[in-house]
């Protein structure tokens, strides 16, 4: 919602012109195989879960005899882990081995609790959905499209598609109809599943008339009895318990076409095979740890909100947890995340850095707003927690009896209260999709929830490198997972020495086959590795690797630009530094072919109000023009950039509206679409440069001027 134009002029910067549109911040503060009958599957979707316990106490673990039998059949390896080469095998074997374990939990609005289904019940639904897919015309090598957030139906349709050697084309609910249309046509999908009635109606009106390949479309939310309902179609389908309809895929068969939302241009369909996904699951969960069964345990549970439509959520959460017999509670959405954390009580959490940064900001805002005595107590607890974390890593003084007693008291009074906001059971957090600030990782360590940061792209299935609990290095995205080789190369594709910056490249079974229907784009990112024989994927990211194999990402090559004076700027580290301020939510740095950098800032008005003692009845527009607010932001930028080069620090800034998926400035994985942001705020940026037109430098060196 447009609220008007904002202007502010504040020292110490030479110019201060802030003109932007401010809307209310859309944020959530973290601190504020037994068989079942066909008739039971005819119930309304909420009734599917009724007979199951809301707790995990009914979970039954494998006996020694059962494990021995499964090993003898080749279903478990010597470490007791499920063996698989395809996603179909992963689902079938996990459902067999962990049949009584709970797998998916869904919130029931009638009881206000989560109800769970077991692996055996999930397997039955997959067997029934396989018949459904056959009935609506999906054939071997076909494509099944899904427009939906995470839900048990998503995982059911996907597994059923794999069981007939069909591929899945996932899409996001938040995408535009034109994106759905493009992806459906490009992929040649013949069946489409829509999450909500609203999406179904929109698809019927705006998409299907232009997507002739789509022969069937069903709605997941539509109630049983409605002709277009997934549940109606499922109730009319026989349960293929015999597996007579199965067309088992091979490792090299296509499993998924994941279209990169991209920060520029049209989406590209990433071709990921069963081998791509499965090698990544195995490499990420088993190769870097001494005991894989302790890394991802049967007893583990996640709160699932990272979209499975993205490779990060799909590989690292859905398939990885399923391969270990763990469970997932489906989050109702970001507005409900605090309540859902309390209901699901996850042990593991998969997220982008934004969530952890919100926790960091929330705690520090609370500290600053507290009376002096409470401030001292909270700071002491965090300091003690940090010291304990360093001691456990062997890089700090050991904890004697007195320190342990003191920590126990502070942990109970302060740190446990923070952990309770995550449900109280969270033991391990994972971060990917963007760089997680070192300060945030250290903070999470101090409260007793270590973050394992990883790195990769959709094109690498996605994990290339990973930190694990027994081998972590803050500031690094980890070491290469099993089977993967990371190269740092120069502009000619030659490997560079350790600690030398260059482009991060990947070789391994996780590298995509290419972009669907786009040989030209594939050829741009695939080359021969320095070993002279391997297919190598070029990430487009800049980074380095040390002598021990720790990889660090330093920026995005295509985002690098030159200032007017010829100095190169990589914006992401600067944006990350400024974004560490608890008063700033999002940052985009601008400065290509300009005399200096400027910044577009999305403010954290609640924190600003609390810091300056400004009442809520003051409108955001007025607050944005407040001299004290501008002075506060000036000081924050100077403080945040004190370790950067002088030319990197922005000389001007302006407040703008939040970058969201709704205004097309965020990708579904929460990456900022810089080109769209700069286009929308073209006039504002020009104004900060005394009215000069915007000039941006393209990656190939071509210049584009705004007349």
Find the CATH number of the domain harbouring 157.
3.40.50.12780
**Which position has the token pair 């598609």?**
161
Per the structure, the complete domain to which residue 630 belongs is given by 560-705
* Residue 495, helix vs strand vs coil: strand
Which residue, of 304, 331, 351, is where some domain finishes?
351
Least confident of 80-94, 522-536, 538-552, 691-705: 691-705
Cα 445 from Cα 453, distance rounded (Å) = 12
**Per-residue pLDDT for 271 more than 50?**
yes
Residues 6+ apart with CB under 8 A from 376: none
> Which tokens sit at 182?
């493009």
Give start and end residues of each alpha helix (H) in 296-427: 311, 320-323, 337-344, 353-369, 372-392, 401-410, 416-420
Q: Which residues contact 182 (CB under 8 A, 6 or more apart)?
A: 266, 267
* Residue whose pair of structure tokens reads 């290339």 in the numeric block: 464
Would you say residue 472 lies in a domain?
no
- pLDDT one-digit tens code per residue, 500-516: 999 999 999 999 999 99
Q: pTM of the prediction?
A: 0.84
**Structure confidence at residue 692 (pLDDT):** 67
Residue pLDDT, tens place only, 470-503: 999 999 999 999 999 999 999 999 999 999 999 9
Q: What is the CATH number of the domain that holds 600?
A: 3.30.300.30
Positive or negative, the Cα torsion across 657, 659, 663, 664? positive
Which tens digit of pLDDT belongs to each residue from 352-403?
Answer: 998 999 899 999 999 998 999 999 999 999 999 999 999 988 888 888 899 9
Residue 170 inside a domain? The answer is yes
In a domain, 645, yes or no: yes
Taking the C-alpha atoms of residue 31 and residue 59, their distance in angstroms, rounded to an integer, is 31
- Residue 22 contacts residue 655 (beta carbons within 8 Å): yes
pLDDT in tens, 637-681: 999 999 899 999 999 999 999 999 889 898 877 788 888 999 999
| Confidence tier at 60 by pLDDT (50, 70, 90) | low
Asked which of 431-445, 586-600, 612-626 is least confident by mean pLDDT, the reply is 612-626
**In sequence order, which ranges of 641-681 are alpha helices (DSSP H)?**
674-680
- The predicted model gives 43-47 an average pLDDT of 37
Share of the chain above pLDDT 70, in %: 88
Lowest-pLDDT range, 30-44, 189-203, 263-277, 377-391?
A: 30-44
**Residue 61 domain-assigned?**
yes
**109 has pLDDT over 80:** yes
| Helix (H/G/I), strand (E/B), else coil: 677 | helix
Number of domains in the chain: 2
Confidence of residue 36 (pLDDT cuts 50, 70, 90): very low
Domain presence at residue 211: yes
List of E strands, 195-341 = 216-219, 254-260, 268-273, 301-304, 327-330
Across the chain, what does the average pLDDT equal?
Answer: 88
Q: Is 680 exposed, middle or buried (0-12, 13-18, 19+ CB in 10 A)?
A: buried
Contacting residues for 39 by C-beta, under 8 A, at least 6 apart: none
pLDDT > 90: percent of the chain: 76
What is the pLDDT at residue 111? 96
Residue 306 covered by a domain: yes
Query: Residue 625 and residue 10: Cα distance in Å, rounded?
Result: 9
Cβ contacts of 643 within 8 Å, gap of 6 or more: 577
Closest CA to 265 of 699, 703, 705: 699
Count Cβ atoms below 10 Å from residue 336 Cβ, excluding itself: 14
pLDDT(49) > 60:
no
What is the pLDDT averaged over residues 36-56? 40
* Domain end marker among 351, 366, 388: 351
Of 351, 368, 403, which closes a domain? Answer: 351
Give the Cα separation of 304 and 327 in Å (integer): 10
For 333-350, how does the pLDDT look when each residue is reduced to its tens digit (9 = 90+)?
988 999 999 999 999 999
């Amino acid at each position: 919602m447009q609220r008007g134009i904002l202007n502010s002029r504040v020292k110490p910067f030479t110019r201060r012109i802030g003109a932007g549109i401010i809307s209310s911040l859309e944020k959530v503060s973290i601190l504020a195989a037994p068989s079942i009958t066909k008739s039971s599957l005819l119930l309304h979707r909420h009734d599917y879960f009724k007979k199951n316990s809301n707790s995990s106490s009914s979970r039954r673990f494998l006996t020694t005899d059962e494990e021995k039998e499964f090993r003898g059949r080749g279903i478990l390896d010597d470490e007791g882990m499920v063996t698989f080469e395809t996603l179909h095998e992963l689902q079938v074997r996990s459902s067999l081995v962990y049949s009584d374990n709970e797998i998916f939990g869904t919130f029931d609005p009638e009881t206000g609790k989560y109800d769970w289904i077991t692996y055996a019940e999930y397997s039955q639904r997959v067997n029934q959905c396989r018949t459904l897919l056959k009935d609506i015309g999906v054939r071997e090598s076909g494509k099944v499209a899904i427009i939906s957030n995470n839900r048990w139906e998503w995982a059911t349709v996907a597994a059923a598609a794999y069981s007939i050697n069909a591929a899945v084309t996932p899409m996001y609910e938040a995408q535009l109809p034109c994106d759905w249309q493009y992806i459906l046509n490009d992929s040649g999908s013949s069946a489409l599943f829509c999450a909500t009635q609203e999406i179904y109606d929109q698809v019927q009106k705006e998409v299907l008339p232009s997507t002739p390949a789509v022969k069937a479309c069903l709605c997941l939310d539509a109630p049983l009895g409605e002709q277009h309902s997934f549940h109606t179609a499922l109730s009319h389908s026989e349960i293929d318990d015999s597996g007579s309809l199965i067309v088992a895929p091979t490792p090299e068969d296509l499993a998924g076409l994941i279209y990169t939302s991209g920060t520029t241009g049209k989406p590209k369909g990433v071709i990921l095979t069963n081998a791509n996904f499965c090698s990544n699951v195995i490499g990420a969960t088993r190769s870097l740890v001494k005991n894989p069964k302790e890394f991802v345990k049967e007893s583990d549970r996640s709160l699932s909100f990272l979209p499975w439509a993205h490779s990060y959520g799909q590989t690292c959460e859905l398939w990885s947890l399923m391969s270990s017999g763990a469970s997932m509670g489906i989050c109702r959405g970001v507005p409900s995340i605090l309540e859902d954390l309390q209901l699901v009580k996850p042990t593991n959490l998969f997220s982008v850095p934004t969530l952890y940064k919100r926790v960091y900001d929330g705690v520090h805002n609370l500290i600053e707003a507290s009376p002096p005595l409470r401030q001292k107590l909270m700071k002491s607890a965090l300091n003690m927690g940090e010291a304990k974390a360093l001691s456990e890593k062997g890089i700090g003084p050991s904890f004697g009896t007195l320190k342990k007693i003191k920590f126990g008291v502070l942990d109970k009074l302060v740190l446990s209260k923070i952990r309770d906001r995550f449900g109280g059971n969270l033991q391990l957090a994972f971060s990917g999709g963007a760089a997680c600030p070192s300060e945030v990782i250290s903070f999470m360590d101090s409260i007793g929830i270590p973050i394992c940061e990883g790195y990769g792209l959709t094109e690498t299935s996605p994990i290339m490198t990973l930190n694990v609990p027994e081998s972590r290095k803050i500031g690094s995205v980890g070491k290469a997972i099993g089977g993967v080789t990371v190269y740092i190369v120069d502009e000619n594709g030659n490997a560079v020495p350790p600690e030398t910056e260059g482009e991060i490249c990947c070789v391994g079974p996780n590298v995509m086959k290419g972009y669907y229907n786009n040989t030209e784009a594939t050829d741009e990112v695939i080359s021969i590795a320095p070993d002279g024989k391997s297919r190598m994927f070029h990430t487009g990211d800049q980074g380095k690797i040390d002598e021990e194999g720790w990889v660090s990402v330093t920026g995005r090559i295509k985002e690098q630009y030159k200032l007017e004076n010829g100095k190169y700027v990589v914006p992401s580290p600067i944006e990350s530094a400024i974004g560490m301020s608890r008063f700033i939510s999002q940052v985009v740095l601008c400065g290509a072919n300009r005399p200096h950098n400027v910044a577009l800032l999305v403010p954290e008005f609640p924190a600003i109000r609390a810091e300056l003692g400004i009442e809520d009845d003051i409108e955001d527009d007025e607050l944005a023009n407040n001299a004290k607010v501008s002075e506060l932001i000036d000081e924050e930028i100077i403080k945040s950039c004190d370790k950067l080069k002088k030319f990197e620090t922005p000389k001007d800034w302006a407040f703008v509206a939040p970058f969201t998926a709704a205004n097309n400035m965020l990708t579904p994985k929460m990456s900022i679409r810089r080109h769209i942001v700069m286009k929308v705020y073209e006039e504002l940026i020009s104004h900060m440069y005394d009215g000069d037109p915007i000039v941006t430098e393209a990656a190939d060196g071509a210049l584009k001027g705004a007349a």
